[in-house]
Amino acid sequence: MDLWGFLSDKENSAARNFILSSVIWLALVVVVALVLAIKFNWPDFLSNVSWLSFGRLRPLHVNGALFGWLSMSNVGIMLYIVPRLTGVRLWSERLGNLTCLLWNLFLGFSAVTLLAGYTQGREYAEYILPIDFLLMLCLFLLLYNVFKTVLTRKEKVMYVSLWYFVGALVWTPFIYVVGNNFLMDLTGLGGRGPVSGINDAMLNWWYGHNLIAMWFGNLGLGIFYYFLPVLTRNALYSHRLSLIGFWTLAFFYVWNGQHHLIYGPGPDWLESVAIIFSVLMVIPVFAVVYNFFKTAQGKWHLLFQNSQEALPLKFLLIGGFAYFLTCMQGPLTNAPRTINAFFHFSYWIVGHAHLAFLGAFSFINMAAIYYVLPRVLKTPVSLRLANWHFGLFATGLMTFLGVLHSSAIIQGGLWTAKIQEYDFLTGATLWRPAVEHIEVVRSLQPFYFAIMIGASLMVVGILTFVINVLWTAYKAAGRQEAEV
Amino acid sequence: MYTALLLLILAASILCLGGIYYKRSVTFGLLVPGALLMIIIAFLSTAVLPSMEKIPSTPKGLPYTEKQLLGRKIYVREGCVYCHTQQVRPIKTDAGLGSVSQAGDYLYDYPHLLGTERTGPDLSHLGGKYEDQWHRNHLTNPRPKRPEEEGMPGKVPGSIMPAFSYLSGEEMDALIAYLQALR
């Protein structure tokens, strides 16, 4: 045993290790998610223990989902795709495996520190400095490995997926260093001087927003662009469109961060810039989505086919469709000022985030894993379990998202309901909330319950997936030993 | 300011169009510097430029005492920010919540605690609304758990806020001092 394969030099071993680690973190994250959903209904469930308090579990849930499940599976799938698009082996499989080991270490540390209450308190940027360093190290090792592979490639022309991968690896370290307050905390500039209060909030959302697109979005799209033609067995509809999509995304997306603070205390011109660019996002999204629908044309019936070949495609088609929905939701319902006024601070945003990360990117990565795993391990996955996974996950997700978005309408409506009062002394018109906040909480009770039901269905579906993947790996390991 | 902004947007547009028209594909040598340049331009215009604006001071933007700062740390540590905002917007949805937040209000806030979700109410103007004892009862457990707690100040039936009974006496005092400082 060479540390469970973490020092292996075998082809695809880094991809395999990243994928297997990612599903283990996924299992942890969804269990935490379920605990959180229960706490909304029974707030005294697992309370009185600081480590299991809502405010500690929530950052673990978000960061675990992003840096654990999504990042690791993204990287694993990328390490599988890059050799196939470059025509050479990964530059160093050993380095890849070492990165995976470090990545797991980083996640382990981060889970413990977050639960113990060590946090920087900024959403998506909670990790404390030492953990930031560890993540940066992982990113740089990955960057080095992938760039070396791309530079020694045999294929002359770089396929779209590679642009997205290289782009993600260039952008993410920059975003992380300047936006995470990594530099501010190291140099002590934060807290006083140029970065405090409102500037900290602007930087936080500059970072949070761009990390999502430039790391998760780009890797996700790279994976999507690779598997779309592979799984549909159709040629990519238009390379020109993908080129436009790539550069306009790189241009428009990074200006959007401030739309998280609309009507906030920041400069108004910045908000306007963010809103304009958010709406412009329709262009790159259209490029991707048009390409998607055109390439997938004639294959939608495979959604209903029950076979090993059609299995990954099912997930990919749903993922692509969810991508379309979530990307329309952004410019149409989140950015425009009047609609934002209604939905900001409500569960609409939570719904949007889950639609993107669970609906779009998790479905895409699950599709990729169902395709990659049997090839890397030379062992088929269980089709029956996979069908249960699909059914439970899709049903749960639709319930969850439907209820979450409806509850947001209740919230916005009740918050906006005002009683008008006329002050005879000053002649001023005053507005006073028509309902106390606690009434909003009480009227959301049935919604919280339904959300929990949807979440449970999803969690069972996802655990089926995890068991399927690990069981396949176990079978493959047994078979390999028998062969030796 | 606006000239700088327009110039930066222009530079990014040229890069973008250049990327699209230069070749049918993207080369590594074009991609890496192009990508880096684009993000640096965006960073300059949407993070650095706005930080250079002068922030007028406001009556709400006061430094915290030692004790309030400790309380603020506990507020951060316990994740109160995931359920509570500290930001009042100039729109009808927020009317009646108190004076509208201004940049100067946050002068001494690091990390910022503006928040993104209102599972619980906005806390911008909480200070002075309740007695300290109200907060102590509420934070220990917001719900009445025993019959004699019905109707006690700080017990809110139907609340879904977590109980923070594990906080030590000193931590609780500091947290309450911070909450009372939010005016």
Using the predicted structure, report yes or no on whether residue A354 has a pLDDT greater than 70: yes
Distances (CA, A) of A32 to A25, A53, A204, A293, B3: 11, 11, 25, 35, 49
Residues of A in contact with B83 (CB under 8 A): 54-55
Assess contact for A32 and A57: CB atoms under 8 A: yes
Mean pLDDT, rounded, of chain A: 91
Tell me the CA distances in angstroms from A472 to A278, A368, A380, A410, B114, one per residue in order: 42, 15, 7, 45, 46
Calculate how close chain B gets to A454, using CA atoms only, in Å: 19
Contacts of B32 in chain A (CB under 8 A): 166, 170
Q: Residue A362 above 70 pLDDT?
A: yes
Interface of B with A in 66-85 (CB under 8 A): 76-83, 85
What's residue A266's pLDDT? 85
Task: Please list every residue in chain B whose beta carbon sits closer than 8 Å to the beta carbon of residue A248.
Answer: 16, 20
Beta-carbon separation of A200 and B111 below 8 A = yes
The alpha carbon torsion through A290, A296, A297, A301 (nearest 10 deg) reads: -140
Mutate to test the interface with A, among B9, B46, B92, B141 (most CBs of A within 10 A): B46
Query: Assign residue B91 a region: left if phi > 0, alpha if psi is -120 to 50, beta otherwise?
Result: beta
pLDDT tens readout for residues B88-127: 999 989 988 989 999 989 988 889 999 999 999 999 999 9
Structure confidence at residue A134 (pLDDT): 95
Question: What is the residue extent of each domain of chain A?
Answer: 1-156, 159-377, 382-484
3-state DSSP assignment of residue A8 = coil
Gap from B161 CA to chain A (nearest CA, Å): 7
Amino acid letter, residue A309: E
Residue A319 pLDDT level (bands cut at 50, 70, 90)? very high
Asked whether the predicted pLDDT for residue A1 surpasses 60, the reply is no
- H or E stretch covering A419: strand A418-422
ipTM value of the model? 0.92
Pairs of CB atoms within 8 A across A/B: 260
For chain A, the first-to-last Cα distance in angstroms comes to 14
Tell me which of A7-21, A182-196, A324-338 is least confident: A182-196
The closest alpha carbon to A77, from A90, A95, A65, belongs to A90
Share of chain A above pLDDT 90, in %: 70
Q: Is A200 on the interface with B (CB under 8 A)?
A: yes
Q: For A125-129, B53-57, B133-137, which range has the lowest pLDDT when averaged over its residues?
A: B53-57
Arch. (CATH architecture) of A159-377: Up-down Bundle (1.20)
pLDDT for A144 equals 96
Distance between CA atoms of residues A309 and A352, nearest Å: 31
Q: How near does any CA of chain B get to the CA of A27, in Å?
A: 23
Closest alpha carbon within chain A to B141? A44
Contact call for residues B35 and A251 (beta carbons, < 8 A): no
- pLDDT tens, position by position, A384-423: 999 999 999 999 999 999 999 999 999 999 999 999 888 8
Element (H, E) at A430: strand A429-433
Of A340 and B30, the structure prediction assigns the larger pLDDT to A340
Q: Distances in Å between the alpha carbon of A347 and those of A266, A351, A412, A451?
A: 23, 6, 9, 11
Using a pLDDT cut of 70, give the percent of chain A over it: 97
Whether B37 contacts chain A with CB within 8 A: no
Chain B residues with CB-CB distance to A152 below 8 A? none
The SS3 assignment for A433 reads: strand
Using alpha carbons, select from A88, A74, A358, A83 the residue that is nearest to residue A224.
Answer: A74
What tens digit of pLDDT does each residue of A104-121 get?
Answer: 999 999 999 999 999 999
**Phi/psi-derived region of residue A419, left when phi > 0, alpha when psi is between -120 and 50, beta in every other case:** beta
Composition of chain A by helix, strand, coil, percent to 5: 75, 0, 20
Angstroms from A182 CA to nearest CA on chain B: 13
Q: What is the DSSP code (8-state) at residue A262?
A: T
* pLDDT for the residue numbered A3: 55
Q: Supply A82's token pair.
A: 């890059």
What predicted TM-score, i.e. pTM, was given to this entire model? 0.94
- Host H or E run for residue A342: helix A337-343
Q: Which residue has the higher pLDDT, B30 or A163?
A: A163
The answer to whether the peptide bond before residue B153 is cis (omega within 30 degrees of 0) is no
pLDDT value of residue A20 = 95
Mean pLDDT of A359-376: 96
Band of residue B24 on the pLDDT scale cut at 50, 70, 90: low
Q: Is the pLDDT of residue A192 over 70?
A: no
| Confidence grade of residue A347 (pLDDT, cut at 50, 70, 90) | very high
Q: Cβ distance A348 to A405 under 8 Å? A: yes
**Which residues from chain B sit within 8 angstroms of residue A273, using beta carbons?**
5, 45-46
Residues 6 or more apart in contact with residue B156 via CB below 8 angstroms: A438, B138, B142, B143
How far is Cα B125 from Cα B99, in angstroms, rounded to an integer?
8
pLDDT at res. A229: 93
In a mutagenesis test of the B interface, which of A212, A254, A404, A444 is the best target, namely the one with the most B β-carbons within 10 Å? Answer: A254
In the predicted structure, residue A483 carries a pLDDT above the cut 80: no
Between A330 and A93, residue with greater pLDDT: A93
Beta bridge mates, A422: A429
Q: What is the pLDDT of residues A236-287, one digit of tens each?
A: 998 888 888 888 888 888 888 888 888 888 888 888 888 888 888 889 999 9
Three-class SS state of A11: coil
